Chain A
Amino acid sequence: MNIAIFSAVVLATLILTNIIAFLGRGKNTFLTYSFDPNSHITLRIALSMIGSIVGGGMFFGVGQIGFEAGITGYMIGISSLVGLFIAGTLSPQFRKAMQEEGVNNLIDLIERKFSARVAVAFSLVNGIIVFFFLAAQFLALYRFATFVSFDMGYGWIPWMLVFVVFVTLLFYPIIGGLRKDITSDCVQVTLIACMAIYFVFLFCSEKTFYTMWATLPVKHLTGAGYGVVFLIGVAFLYPAIFLVRMDVWQRIGAASDDRAATSAMKVAGVGSLLFYILFTSLGMWAYSTGITDAQNATLNIIAKVSSNPLIFGLVIGSLFAAVLSTADTNINNASLFFTRLLFPEQWRVALAKENTSNHTLLLKSRLLGLFLTFLSAGLAWESQDLVELMVGAFSLLLIFFPTVLGLLYPPWKSEKGAFFGVVLGVLCFLISFFTWNRKMAFLPGIAISALVYYVMCFFGQRTVCCKPQPERKAEMNYLISE
């Protein structure tokens, strides 16, 4: 009986998500599928941004951080708050820059500001990062199914539910694109918020939070549970990541106006901080109650305190909503990055004019999304270590480090070095990841990237920018007229 109630509640949340995602389906063009510019109000953008941050990987990963290192998870939340505040403050300038260059996304802006090759390198690295994040979402689902099936004795039911989630992911993000992604994020974040309110209620009742606070060891409360270097790394690097995230730029561009973009990013910053605090606290609570399994700390504590199948069903339904809200963004972004890499000319034509319905490119992009979804599910099944995937994704960003340094210090700027350094660094990372040590694979990747960059910078010709503007505009006119 309990299993039936639990399954019914979880299925109901999934069906609700799908119904809302497909309500009012309008005409879908490649533009609405990919960037949907100037179309959404503040609240929708804010909820969507929170949804793409709060995911299944975060559910487990941040809970694990809370369990192992205590309030270090709060620090990540603070950094994300500041990062989104910066993105919000700069969003009018971001929108203006896109408008002035006649583009509606970050990749094309990079191409205009730097060169086509740097845009290719950017798409390649980010495509792989998003792909790894997507795999982390599938791994969260796998973890959930294993735990509920074996540890809680729910049999095959959790696997069936995970299958339903997977099928859902093959539908609305791939068919509806960004527009449906943003719409469905609203209901998903509402569900997650309901779960959050339930846990806040639990924390407040019977002095749970106070007891946890009083009993946790000092190591969990200083913020340096993973060491000082980790804490400083979070403070210095994490806010900057939000300025180069495609999903952030997508939502800034999709906001109805500058004010909506600014407010939405700031609201999202506050929202994401609250979720970081919540998941970290759950991990800390699990630790203080004597649970020993760090990886499933969040699920363990949920199972321990939610004996009612209705409540447990709602909580797990919210976990699925969290997975869906991040995975749909990752599927959309991964398909776009690889579409840009494989079909750059069609991409330019499709996005150059509004109301252009490029069905061929839309179909190709959807097929790519489908293919990448299956591939990342395979990677999750093969890897089975959430930390490996997260470390892989974040460390790849460091491959851009020499390029960023070159931007800040013009004598070190090398467009060729940036392109070849990034491409060879990524290749080296992928080879090391699949054949050597997965947690250390980023080291040779970064070393090769830096070496190639500085060798080419030293020996090659230092260039400032790509093609001159008139030449670029002529090329665009030619493509549009075609």
Chain B
Amino acid sequence: MLKTPPITPSSRSIDNGQAGSILNIQYSVFLGVILNYCFRVDTVSTPTVRLLIDIINKPEALFFIFYFLLDWFTANIIQEMHLSKPSMLLVRIIWITLLGTLVISLNGDGLWKFLLISFYLIVSGLYDFGLMSKLFAGGEVGTQAVLGFLLSGVRLVLGLVFLVPTVFVVTGRSDVALEWDNPNSPFDLLFIISGLYLLLKIGRFKYLSSIAEARR
């Protein structure tokens, strides 16, 4: 007769590798959802693939698709460096869901997307600060530490800048928020700041990869 192994506290909790696998599944599922929203395959006459993103008027949606991919890669590096506890898995899954929803909402016309963006970017900036503190806790202050904190700082500033249109959406001056999302305006800030945020994400990815490489 087969005996069921006793459940110990260690067997109930998941390890770092399992947490990484679950995160990868979550990212891939959401990537599928995002791609489904971005492309449509027509098979009625000749099979064609249509891009549903309005690249001319809403390039920021495309930026954030790349951002999502980079976030996936970065999450793996963070997992590899054991900088995130497996117990925080649920929070991270919710976070990926929020990012996925944000990417999809960027292709729409609703102004409430600003609330979503500012919330996401501010919390990400604060999380980055915590990450850098963990990385350089008690260590020597070198160019790498300063650069890491500055990178997080600029990300946080850009996140806080997004509070501006959010406040105006909430207080009923949607004309200001519309100016932020106006492709014909020289101050199409949503496009410019999203682009910069993507560049910072690339910088952060390269930065964390170099640290992970050095620690291997």
**Interface set of A (CB-CB < 8 Å, partner B):** 71, 74-75, 78-79, 82-83, 85-86, 89-90, 92-94, 96-97, 213-214, 218, 221-224, 227-228, 231-232, 235-236, 239-240, 243, 407-408
Contacts and interface: CB of A to CB of B under 8 A. Distances in A.
Contact of A221 (B133, B139, B168): B168
Contact of A82 (B138, B156, B186, B187): B156
Interface-centre pick from A82, A86, A92, A214 (highest chain B CB count, 10 A): A82
Interface of B: 129, 132-133, 136, 138-141, 143, 145-147, 149-150, 152-154, 156-158, 160-161, 164, 168, 171, 173, 175-176, 179-180, 186-187, 189, 192, 196
Contact of A228 (B132, B139, B147, B186): B186
A239 B150 contact: yes
A89 B150 CA distance: 11
Interface-centre pick from A83, A218, A231 (highest chain B CB count, 10 A): A218
17 contacts: A75-B157, A79-B157, A82-B156, A86-B150, A86-B152, A93-B138, A93-B145, A94-B141, A97-B141, A218-B176, A235-B157, A235-B158, A239-B150, A239-B154, A243-B146, A243-B150, A408-B147
A222 B180 contact: yes
Contacts of B173: 213-214, 221
Contacts of B145: 90, 93
A97 B143 contact: no
B171 A213 contact: yes
A288 to B, nearest CB: 14
A82 B122 CA distance: 12
A86 B173 CA distance: 33
Q: State the 3 A-B residue pairs at the shortest beta-carbon distance, nearest first.
A: A93-B141, A224-B187, A235-B157
Contacts of B152: 86
Contacts, number: 86
A222 B180 CA distance: 7
A228 B141 contact: no
Contacts of B140: 93, 96-97
Contacts of A408: 143, 147
B157 A218 contact: no
A209 to B, nearest CB: 11
A86 B164 contact: no
Given A78-B160, A94-B141, 14 more contacts: A82-B160, A85-B129, A85-B153, A86-B150, A90-B149, A92-B138, A214-B173, A218-B175, A221-B168, A221-B176, A222-B180, A223-B164, A235-B157, A239-B150
Contacts of A75: 157, 161
A213 B172 CA distance: 11
Given A228-B187, A228-B192, A222 B154 contact: no
B136 A93 contact: yes
Contacts of B129: 85, 89
A371 to B, nearest CB: 35
A240 B150 contact: yes
A97 to B, nearest CB: 5
Contacts of B153: 82-83, 85-86, 239
A284 to B, nearest CB: 13
B146 to A, nearest CB: 6
A75 B162 CA distance: 11
Nearest to A79: B157
B176 A222 contact: yes
A71 B189 CA distance: 14
Interface-centre pick from A79, A94, A222, A240 (highest chain B CB count, 10 A): A222
Given A90-B149, A236-B154, A240-B150, A223 B141 contact: no
A81 B156 CA distance: 10
A97 B139 CA distance: 10
B86 to A, nearest CB: 26
A93 B161 contact: no
A231 B192 CA distance: 11
Given A86-B153, A90-B146, A93-B141, A235 B161 contact: yes
Contacts of B180: 222
Contacts of B176: 218, 221-222
A98 to B, nearest CB: 10
A222 B143 CA distance: 34
Interface-centre pick from A74, A224, A239 (highest chain B CB count, 10 A): A224
B171 to A, nearest CB: 7
A89 B149 contact: yes
Nearest to B172: A214
A91 to B, nearest CB: 10
Contacts of A222: 164, 176, 179-180, 187, 189
A83 B160 CA distance: 13
Contact of B196 (A83, A232, A239): A232
Contacts of A236: 154
A89 B180 CA distance: 33
A224 B133 contact: no
A88 B168 CA distance: 31
A11 B140 CA distance: 48
A407 B179 CA distance: 40
Contacts of A71: 164
A274 B60 CA distance: 32
A296 B179 CA distance: 29
B161 A231 contact: yes
A114 to B, nearest CB: 12
Interface-centre pick from B145, B187, B189 (highest chain A CB count, 10 A): B187
Contacts of B160: 78, 82
B146 A228 contact: no
Contacts of A221: 164, 168, 173, 176
A89 B141 CA distance: 11
Contacts of A83: 153
A93 B144 CA distance: 13
A79 B160 CA distance: 9
Contacts of A86: 149-150, 152-153
Contacts of B150: 86, 239-240, 243
Contacts of B179: 218, 222
Contacts of B132: 89
Nearest to B165: A222
A89 B136 CA distance: 10
